[in-house]
A and B are shown apart, each in its own frame.
Chain A
Amino acid sequence: MKKRLNLTPYWLILPSVIYLALFFAWPMVQALTLSIWDGDARLQLRAEATLRSPVSDWLPRGAPIEVVERRGNTVDPDDLGQSNLRTEVWFYIRGESADGRTVEGWAPEARVRVRETDAAGAPTLGTIRPRIGGSDPLTTVYAEPSVVSDVVGRIESNAVVAIERQTILELWYLVRGERDGAAIEGWAPSRYVQVFGDNVRGRIDRGDAGELTLRYLRSMINDRFFWPALWTTLLLMAIIIPVQFVLAIIMALIIQQQLRGNTFFLYVFAIALGVSELAVGIVWYAIFTQNGYLNSILVSLGWLAAPIPYLTADTRHWIIVAIWLAEIWRATALVMVIVVAGLQAISHEILEAADLFGANLWKRVRYVILPMLKPSLQVALILRTILALQVFAVVIALSGGDVVTVLANEAYRQYYTLRNVNVAAAYAALILLLSMFSAAVYLRMVRSHEEMQE
């Protein structure tokens, strides 16, 4: 029979691949992008006052500039929806000028109060707005919808004018600035430029093109919580994981004994697997808070005269201890389950052989069980290491989120409290890179493990 490539499995895995590409791979790229890419760092300048004109140069965000010339471009009605356009509306009006002639020409919308509109909502009649406190009480009418075009006449305040039609303009500035000592000039849409009171000087408000930047990473590293968060995360890993493994192996060995009530022990040991991280944090808060269970028991037994406040800014070490216990309580179940599954794979004859050839319990654990569990333990180790990078709710519940802080908590703070998406993304990227490093090790181990089993 000729072997044909069967496409069925590919169709079957396709949805999951697409899903993970959309909601795993892409956000991962996004996280990295957000943390090193400044999306509006540069304002592109053009030779002509239109987006169709090629980019001639650029100025960095914040650069001081001088507005040399202004121009309004009629906006394509399709582009009107763009919320960030800075537009100006001009009316074509007809009315009597201050010197008694009838003038016809363009005036900005800001100078005309619309009094009547037609059925379609378009303005038909208005009055000239009075100028308050200005030196010039008259309103200028221009030949073109631009303040730099010819003046056709000047109208007094409150004069009634007919509005013939209107036009919507996008303002462009010809700006002059300096980059790296060289003078630069070019047209830019006014919405990116902030102009000061004198109508001439100003600065680039934001850009329309991005550049690579280290400033988010820098502001992450320079944040006063960064190093404490990193060190606490690593410290927690270092003190949680070994204890967890010892406990989990003991639990698994107990399960292995097939005691009466084994299913009960198994369920109890596995309970924490399903308990919410936040709930665990609160549970241990209930134990460690000043009028909590620990103090209650110690005081009732007479070992303490008065309750100790454990979870305060001055008792950081106690908070760490509380987090340590809470995490051991919560995540040992995961390791235990993996170890039990690994133990089940060791045939009972192997253990009997070890017993028979003279190994007591300790030697059986040391020379047979642990070496044979190595693959499971490695997997559990990597999983635990990566999960330890995510510790979050337990820390918030026990420390309020700033006395003791961890990386995930800082990502949350940057995003939620400080509204600093890019720095939050930088934390996310850091956590991702740390776990990617672990995952690479993990994959290597998995592969060598599979090779070992012929």
Chain B
Amino acid sequence: MAAIRIENVTKKFGNFVAVDNVTLIVEDQEFMVLLGPSGCGKTTLLRAVAGLGMADSGRICIGDRDVTYLPPRKRGISMVFQSYAIFPHMNVYDNIAFGLKMNKFDKAEIDRRVREAAELLHIETMLDRYPSKLSGGQRQRVAVARAIAMKSQVLLMDEPLSNLDALLRLEMRAELKRLLAEIKATTIYVTHDQIEALSMGDRIAVMREGKILQCDHPTVVYDRPATDFVGGFIGNPPMNFLDAQVQRRDGAVEVAIGDFKLRPHPLMEPLLRGYDGKPIVIGIRAENMEALAAPADDALKVRVLVVEPLGAQNLLTVKIGANIVKVSTHPSFEVAPDQELWLRFPADKIRWVDRESGRVLYPELN
């Protein structure tokens, strides 16, 4: 059992608050992804868990041990570094064996574990080589092999794929996922790549300015972002945001986008009533809008600015009021720039964002 409990951890660099009173619990054997733009504090948080830079306040527990003040080597963790941090003066074998040797495993056990780890990463033929003779991808594999050879209950990964080129990254992503499922370690994985986060994590913690904005399963984070920032950061294209106005007509709530009137989902009505006469922001993903070639009552007329054929879909850029909106359509839907078309907004796909706080409103949370 090695759940990681991060309780009210704060870390400052001078006056800059890198991690701001964060609490996060990673379950045993869970794959937790810390996601956020650079400078959001995700790496600092990971390093605090690793013990590389002590937390200023708060508490970090691994399993049932309080490790807040333990040096890294006593925390029973292993880690894959962004730059891999492979020891250049040791060959691959010695690199993988390093942690085991330091922890005084016996020779046979070291040998067995090194070979096992090397096999898992398909580098068993390179054990005699020195890092300077390895490619970037191979070094990456060595770094991962070194980490898993420890069989620690906790594995930390700091943007392990960011130094690889695109194709290799895709390949390693799938392989890492398979591997981590196999070794069943509790993992914290830091990345700024939302696709990596969505595709790999059991849960994603989205961070910004030292705080965790949302921590949930990838589908939930994608579909029901907690804030406009999360919606905008996750997904490609990001979630669209439209300025709208809440009005009441005949006792029912109605939302106006320019002249176009929209009826919200019945579940949302009680919530939106509070916004009567106030502006609100509508969030909707590109693939959730229906594009129609002909006018319809419940569809908004827009003019297409740009058409980007992406193979599996076409991405249209349209303008609604002052907002630029991306709409994805099936490739069979023929459309050209400057053409008019009609957009329908399915009520259950619309997310309502409070303009002031950026918070997304969900009926069940209130």
Contact = CB atoms under 8 A, between A and B. Distances in A.
Is there direct touching of A and B in the complex, by C-beta distance under 8 Å?
yes
Interface of A: 347, 349-350, 352-360, 363, 367-368, 371-372, 374, 452-454
A357 B73 CA distance: 6
Nearest to A356: B72
Interface string B64-93: 000000011100011101110101111000
A334 to B, nearest CB: 24
> Counting chain B CB atoms within 10 Å of each CB, which of A352, A353, A371, A454 scores highest?
A353
Interface stretch (B34-42, B95-103, B168-176, B288-296): B95-103
B102 A357 contact: yes
B85 A347 contact: yes
Contacts of A453: 132
A368 to B, nearest CB: 6
A354 B98 contact: yes
A422 B73 CA distance: 64
A374 B102 contact: no
Contact of A357 (B82, B132, B133, B146): B146
- Give the 7 A-B CB pairs with smallest separation, nearest first: A357-B99, A358-B102, A353-B85, A349-B85, A356-B72, A371-B89, A349-B81
A353 B79 contact: yes
B360 interface: no
Given A347-B83, A352-B52, A353-B79, A360 B132 contact: no
Contact of B87 (A352, A355, A368, A374): A368
B89 A374 contact: yes
Interface residues of B, number: 25
Interface of B: 50-52, 71-73, 77-79, 81-83, 85, 87-90, 98-99, 102-103, 132-133, 146, 150
A359 B102 contact: yes
> Counting chain B CB atoms within 10 Å of each CB, which of A350, A371, A372 scores highest?
A350
Given A349-B82, A372-B89, A452-B132, A356 B77 contact: yes
A145 B99 CA distance: 101
Given A347-B85, A357-B102, A372-B87, 12 more contacts: A352-B50, A355-B51, A355-B72, A357-B103, A357-B146, A358-B99, A360-B73, A363-B102, A367-B102, A368-B87, A454-B132, A454-B133
Nearest to B98: A357
Contacts of B81: 349, 352-353
B89 A349 contact: no
> Counting chain A CB atoms within 10 Å of each CB, which of B52, B85, B132 scores highest?
B85
A356 B79 CA distance: 7
A324 B132 CA distance: 41
A356 B72 CA distance: 5
A363 B85 CA distance: 17
18 contacts: A347-B83, A349-B81, A349-B82, A352-B50, A353-B85, A354-B102, A355-B51, A355-B52, A357-B73, A357-B98, A358-B73, A358-B99, A358-B103, A359-B73, A359-B98, A367-B98, A367-B102, A452-B132
A257 to B, nearest CB: 14
Contacts of B72: 352, 355-356
Contacts of A368: 87
B50 A356 contact: yes
Contacts of A363: 102
B71 A372 contact: no
Contacts of B133: 454
Nearest to A370: B89
A279 B102 CA distance: 47
A352 B78 CA distance: 11
Contacts of A371: 87, 89-90
Contacts of B146: 357
A360 B88 CA distance: 19
Contact of A355 (B73, B88, B132, B150): B73
B218 to A, nearest CB: 28
